[in-house]
Structure 1
Amino acid sequence: MKVAVIGGGAAGFFAAISCKTQHPDAAVSIFEKTAKTLTKVKVSGGGRCNVTNACEPQSEFLRHYPRGQKQLKKTFNHFNRKDTIEWFEKKGVLIKAESDGRMFPKTDDSQTIIDCLRNEVKNRGASVVTKVAIMALISEPEGFSLTFDSGQTQFFNHVIVATGGSSKSASYDWLRKLGHAIVEPVPSLFTFNIQDEPRLKALMGLAVPYALVKIQGTKLAQGGPVLITHWGLSGPAALKLSAWGARQLHEMKYDFNVQINWAGTMNEEMLRTEVTKTSEQQSKKKIINAKPFELPNRLWEYLLSRVDLKNDTIWTEVKKKDKNRLINVLLNDEYKVLGKTTFKEEFVTCGGVELSEVDFNTMESRKVPGMYFAGEVLDIDGVTGGFNFQAAWSTGFVAGKLGK
């Protein structure tokens, strides 16, 4: 039996390993059109590789997928986050959890994961062919004919498609020709460009542990850490918001107002109580030195400037109207977003193969028997934090079983 795995990313490698584990006698080949494999694994998590997430139970874990959570429930019944951790640890790669739930190899080096996957593929006897593009794929009664850019044609009994996500609709044309419906791809997991507030950009590198971020005029809202960058807003809160709002924000042409509650979980009544308490208990202190709740000093100074309050003002000198303006900017700070920034190596797309056309108990196509799918080529995407890699490991593992 010959099996072609199209795509040399996380899902493709895991599918090939699974296939050789379940079908040791099969001839399994991974075909990657670029010169390098596992490139997204290399750069993910700041070069540490966010393998999965410690979130439990599984029902809660699934809530981190804007698209595909219902379908992945079936796949996770075969291979889930616990199986992932156990699999890597059996290969000698210990996995650790951080306070926010993200899980990394104990080495804090993505190369550890890459080496593990490459060694396992080699040890299992699968082959990896790089710099080869597939020009045509024809479904035949007993399998598939693949024609490569070299002009050579080879026959395979099964094909596992793990080509990853693409922002270009035309990239899916070959799957359309085979009868598959494609949900139009749009970007997911991106940051917000803010161009009209240079003073905010001066805070680049500043992180706020928790803030609530909303898109005005929509129901979209997410809480979490916020990072201020030289182009605008990033961090988990912004990234989660971009994932859940991927299609809506695309339709808005990435032109919208973002509203930030720097006080996080506090509402107006709670914040007003804290401001009153601070002004009474620290009445003789300068406002720059006495905050109503924990905030980075540079951000506090910037927000005071937003409401024209001088740093050396004593709390007893702050007028009622100024307190109201301060409370408002802490709860409802607004910025105009024009555009987005995506990291090319780490980009995630919303869109891909229509999920109803795939059996998620086997990952086999309902349109083309013998063809299986794994990873982001499907209309599945998770928020930041290891959820996209978990989808890759799980779908790759199940696809590699070839329905066994």
Structure 2
Amino acid sequence: MTASFNEILLKSPAGATTVKPVPLTAIGWDAIQQLPALLQQFGNGPALIIADPALVTLPIIRPVLQLLDQQQIAYTIYSDLVPEPTVETGQKAIDFGRSGNFKLVIGFGGGSALDMAKLVAVFIQNPGPVSAYLNLTGTKKIEHRGLPKILIPTTSGTGTEVTNISVLALERTKDVVVHDYLLADAAIVDPVFTLSVPPRVTAATGADALTHAIEAFISVNATPYSDGLALQAIRLIGSTLRQAVTDGSNREARTAMAYGSYLAGMAFFNAGVGAIHALAYPLGGQFHLAHGESNAVLIPYVLGYILPSCAARLAVVYEALGFSEATISMQEAAEKCIRVLAALTRDIGIPETLAGFQIPEAATAALAADGILQKRLLARCPMELSEEQVHEIYARAFTGIYLH
């Protein structure tokens, strides 16, 4: 490649960089056994457990409940949640939290359950409807820290256990509530909880984590700190995602994915995500695609379009994915990187085009109109995109052609 590794990595924004905090975290196999110590530090209840409805009747939640019982901590389980939760879903959960005398919130499940746990913990002590605090349209600011919260992810993908945002679905797109008070007080990342995750969810959440790492690495806000996190996440996820999907009982693959997802979350918390996420939000809002699948199908089309602005960094991503070809040019390495990513998403069962999700091509204009509104995300993309260009990316995602 024409640029050296260090020349690429050491380019960062001018001036000092503030490294954003991450919560106290227990990570690794059987990390759930650290829950009693965390409970002593962050609160002895009564606790409100916000959990995925599919999990509350399964054995997977028993270790959490048994540890709470051993500590004689009273708890209430709330699971009136839906995938890709709406503002209404969030408000209903908040109202339930406000109606009790809870001292601690525990989130257990995928990204949606954890996002709801963060909202409930904070808005128990902040007035008004959650809609008034949305990034795109809200006018109110969070002023109070809220209750202590411990987040326990059961998928390897969203990274929400280390970020300060909660995502809510609107009628046509998605929006977020953003504040550092949404950061968890503690996180427990135990791959044991991911063993029973079905292949399709493993694929979607894993693709989401990989997108976090790649977009953080090419972000205009990338620094050597976030780069290190992102590249290690890419190495871990890129080398084990296929195996985790095809053999969910593989402990090594599940452990690597858990660490990769966690590192990717820290990377994008510091550097941000960009155009892939911006264009994925309307797919979730308008067609209720799972967030990870929305990201995955768009990866090659967005990267193919913005390649001229980030070829050097995509060449490094190619190396992190396990490929080293010293004789090829940076442009060739970047193009091969996109092909490798397209093949990976195809191998884990993600449709290759928007048509594969039964989305009509006539929706392109509406998708572009909503995608361009995600200014917070698009501002981190290394290429400034107009609505016409966003429209072109969506159009390419129907053709299956991502490199021109």
TM-score by length of 1: 0.27
Higher relative contact order structure (alpha carbons within 8 Å, sequence separation ≥ 6): 1
More strand per residue: 1
TM-score by length of 2: 0.27
More helix per residue: 2
